[in-house]
Every structure is written in C-alpha cells, then in structure tokens.
Amino acid sequence: MIEAVVFDLDGVLLDSEQLWDEVREGLAGERGGRWHDGAQADMMGMSSREWSVYMHERIGLAEPPEEISAEVVRRMLERYKRELPLIPGAVEAVERIAARWPLGLASSSNRELIDAALDAAGLARCFRVTVSSEEVDRGKPAPDVYLEAARRLEVAPGHCAAIEDSQNGIRSAKAAGMRVIAIPNPRFPPPTEVLAEADVVLDAIGKLSPEVVAG
C-alpha cells in the first residue's frame, strides 16, 4: 500500500534539464573547458559535489569544485527569477497527489534551487520534506536521496511511490525499493531497458492521478 509519494524536480516538475546543460556548457566555454556531447548525460542525477568535481576534472575548469558549483547555482537562480520553467500540468498534478498522500521531493538540485523553485511555483506548502542529493553521501543512481526522503517522511521505502523522468532517477528510486512512475523527458529520454524497470510509464505529468500512483 502506498503511504507517501516522492517527486523528482528537474525534468518532472521543471523543464530545466536543458537549462542546466546551457549554463554548464556556457561556463565551460567561457573558462576554457573541454565540453563534449556526453557531458550532460554523464552529469544528470549527480549531486552538486559530484558534477562540480566532474567539471573540474573532466571538463577541465581551473576553479575548485565549490566555486564551480556556486557559479552554476547563481546563474540558474538568475534564470529561475526571469522565468520559472514549469512543465504544463505539474502544479495541478502535485496538488492532486498531495490531497491524498504526504509528499516528499528528492532532487539532484542544490538546496537553494529547490527552495526557490517550489516557492516561485507556490508548491512549497505541498511538500512535507525536501531532500537535495548534496545532503546525502551519493547522488543518483545511488538510492541515498530517496532513502533519506522516506526516512524524513517516516514511511518505509517500499510503501512510497517515486515520480521520475531520467535514467539515473529511475534507477535510484528502484534501488530504494519504491514503486516507480516514469514520465520520460522527451529531450533526454531514458533507454528502453531502463524504462522497463519502471512500474508505470506516462507520457505527460497531466496524466498522473491517485489511481495511477496507487496501482
């Protein structure tokens, strides 16, 4: 029986994966980094500690990882202030699910970005707990961020449903033992074999309902 629902943020509620890509690639271009086609996919789901190290070591930025992370977050916050990239139907879907279950959020975004996005969307009130992967040992696809969300919700992971879009996110939630509802990001779709690991696959968040979550 489902007793709580945990949402991802980027790619599920926000159409922000492309923004992350643009901001990090732009920073790499300005500072002499060696961007490559697989960089976005490599960093999707990583915690801020992990992707900032990646940009320092693999992309070749001279600045230390903590400075890289802070600058990327600053630029993302500027983008959010100009226009929050909410996915159509996301607010209504969260409100539908919150009317039945307590909600958590398990995101690879930095804490500042999570709080800014939920406040701007008017959704902070819907989430009992929010967890950034910078607050746990490992980012997705490790299960840490989902396990921590379940712990804070005081619900066993096996009684939680997770709403995810990405390859690493699906694997993270599945490794935590949750029921996984996948809503693939059309720009960065997970491989077919990863989607097959999800319990349900939807083509739009507008189709997310309590009946789908409960199974």
Same domain, 150 and 165: yes
Same domain for 156 and 97: yes
Q: Nearest CA to 84 among 76, 73, 95?
A: 76
Count helices and strands in the chain by DSSP H and E runs = 10, 6
Q: What is the CATH number of the domain that holds 52?
A: 1.10.150
Please tell me whether residues 121 and 151 are part of one structural domain. Answer: yes
End-to-end CA, the chain: 9
**Does residue 137 share a domain with residue 31?**
no
Q: Give percent helix, percent strand, percent coil of the chain, each to the nearest 5.
A: 50, 15, 35
HSE, side-chain direction, 13 A CA sphere, residue 12 = 29
Q: What are phi and psi of 131, to 5 degrees?
A: -130, 130
Quote the distance between the C-alpha of residue 168 and its chain's center.
10
Question: What are the CA-CA distances from residue 124 to residues 21, 51, 103, 196 (Å)?
Answer: 25, 26, 10, 32
Q: What is the pTM of this model?
A: 0.92
Clarify whether residues 53 and 91 are in a common domain.
no
Q: Range of 171's domain? A: 4-15+85-214
122 and 200 inside one domain: yes
Q: What is the CATH number of the domain that holds 152?
A: 3.40.50.1000
Instruction: Please give the Cα distance from 55 to 51 (Å, whole number).
Output: 6
How many structural domains comprise the chain? Answer: 2
Do 124 and 53 fall into the same domain?
no
Whether the upstream peptide bond of residue 210 has omega within 30° of 0, thus cis, is no
Residues 106 and 210 in one domain: yes
129 and 78 inside one domain: no
Bond from prior residue into 141 cis (ω within 30 degrees of 0): yes
Tokens of 195: 């989607």
How many CA atoms are closer than 13 Å to the CA of 193, on its beta-carbon side?
0
Q: Is the CB of residue 161 less than 8 Å from the CB of residue 178?
A: yes
- For the chain, 215 residues long, give each residue's pLDDT as a single digit of tens: 999 999 999 999 999 988 999 999 999 999 999 999 889 888 887 888 899 999 999 999 999 999 999 999 999 999 999 999 999 999 999 999 999 999 999 999 999 999 999 999 999 999 999 999 999 999 999 999 999 999 999 999 999 999 999 999 999 999 999 999 999 988 888 999 999 999 999 999 999 999 999 99
Distance CA 30, CA 9 (A): 28
Residues 133 and 51 in one domain: no
Nearest one of 44, 46, 51, 81 to 68, comparing CA atoms: 51
